[in-house]
Amino acid sequence: MNYSRIKYLSIFFLGLMLMANANAQTNIKQLADDKFEIEISRSSSSPIKILQVTDLHLGSTDEGKWKKDIITFRRIKQLVDTYDPDMIAITGDLLTGEKPFGTLLCASVVNFFDGLERPWLYVFGNHDPEGGFGRDQIAEVFSVSKWGILGNHPVDNEYKKKYDYVVNVAYTDQKKPAWQIYGFDSGSKKGYKSIKQDQLDWYKNMSENSAKKFGQDTRAISIFHIPLIEYQYLQDDKSIKKYGKVGEKVWYEEDDGSVYKTFLDVGNIEATFCGHDHYNNYWGKYKGEITLAYGYISGEATKYAYPPGGKLITLPGDGGEIQMENVAPDYKEKDYEY
């Protein structure tokens, strides 16, 4: 196989995709490698809507799976057309571990999500960096997106940097952000399959600097892939009301409770949104008043998960409570047949 030719074709097709989106207008500002701003061109009395999608598992080499990936894109497009979210949050395992054409696969992702013409926030899942096409390569392709958000900061270990970032979400009629979104890379290999202390140190520093700059804590949510151990505690506690489906145990991997404790100590995170466990899409308010929420599986090719959809998250602009619901497009066979 001529890999140099494949790389050339990948770059060529990526260029064509970017040309198709060259006229798109963006309301995103990158303030630093790990800090962004999204400006909402509406009154601060209106809510901010986020469509969370998770575990799409795009790019499988299994026979016929490419058809399922196309259906995944069509169904997400239908959700966007129906609910018109202000932004999209992709909480990991966007890609499978198999990436014989990694550049083209990531370029197709950029083309699709940029075509929706709204910010899309991405955090890594455990499968995304597998298959010889890792974080840095994925980030390189995503960096050319007009609408995609993926940041990083340096750390003192073998990773050299972690793909964590914060997004200030502000209305045009306000000088301070109404919300902040903290995106974390929850890891993929043994010894790193959770949010680690260097990332929590970064989060505490960013939160402290933000509070000093704006004179107060900003309401915040967090997105990541691998759930916290508290999701299992929430599942087990029959006294706490939960919404959505509890379908399997929580695969919290290496999380030891330090993330949730840090969120409580800092005090700005009101809700967390993850993926990873395909059968779970529940949410509930755990001890300390932080809402722990799973996404709703979004990939047609994702094993054992059906029907795919997303989670619609509504952040109030008037001081009210965060609202969320599991959503799936109206399924009509003719809309997805070949």
**Mean pLDDT estimate for the chain:** 90
The pLDDT of residue 174: 86
Round to whole Å and give the CA distance between 321 and 219: 11
334 falls in which pLDDT band (50, 70, 90)?
A: low
Region 307-313: mean pLDDT is 94
Q: Torsion angle, CA of 223/226/232/238, rounded to 10 degrees?
A: 40
Phi, psi of 106 (to 5 degrees): -70, -35
Round to whole Å and give the CA distance between 167 and 121: 9
User: Residue 212: is its pLDDT beyond 70?
Assistant: yes
The pLDDT of residue 65: 83
Q: Torsion angle, CA of 161/167/168/169, rounded to 10 degrees?
A: 180
Q: Which residues neighbour 139 within 8 Å (Cβ) at sequence distance 6 or greater?
A: 150, 152, 163
Higher-pLDDT residue of 143 and 333 is 143
Round to whole Å and give the CA distance between 274 and 280: 10
Higher-pLDDT residue of 233 and 9 is 233
The pLDDT of residue 8: 43
Domain 3-336 sits in CATH at: 3.60.21.10
Round to whole Å and give the CA distance between 50 and 83: 9
Higher-pLDDT residue of 50 and 97 is 50
Closest CA to 114 of 220, 189, 24, 204: 24
The pLDDT of residue 335: 64
The pLDDT of residue 318: 82
Q: Where are the domains of the chain?
A: 3-336
The pLDDT of residue 148: 98
Region 319-327: mean pLDDT is 95
The pLDDT of residue 100: 82
The 8-class DSSP code of residue 330 comes to: P
Closest CA to 152 of 303, 160, 144: 160
Sheet with 87-91, strands from edge to edge, namely 148-149, 120-123, 87-91, 48-53, 310-315, 323-327
Q: What is the pLDDT of residues 281-292, one digit of tens each?
A: 999 999 999 999
The pLDDT of residue 133: 93
Helix (H, G, I), strand (E, B) or coil at 248: coil
Q: Torsion angle, CA of 91/220/167/155, rounded to 10 degrees?
A: -80
Q: What is the pLDDT of residues 227-283, one digit of tens each?
A: 999 999 999 999 999 999 999 999 999 999 999 999 999 999 999 999 999 999 999
Higher-pLDDT residue of 337 and 185 is 185
CA distances from 237 to 75, 233, 286, 288, 289 (A): 34, 6, 9, 14, 14
Round to whole Å and give the CA distance between 30 and 37: 6
Round to whole Å and give the CA distance between 213 and 244: 38
159 falls in which pLDDT band (50, 70, 90)?
A: confident
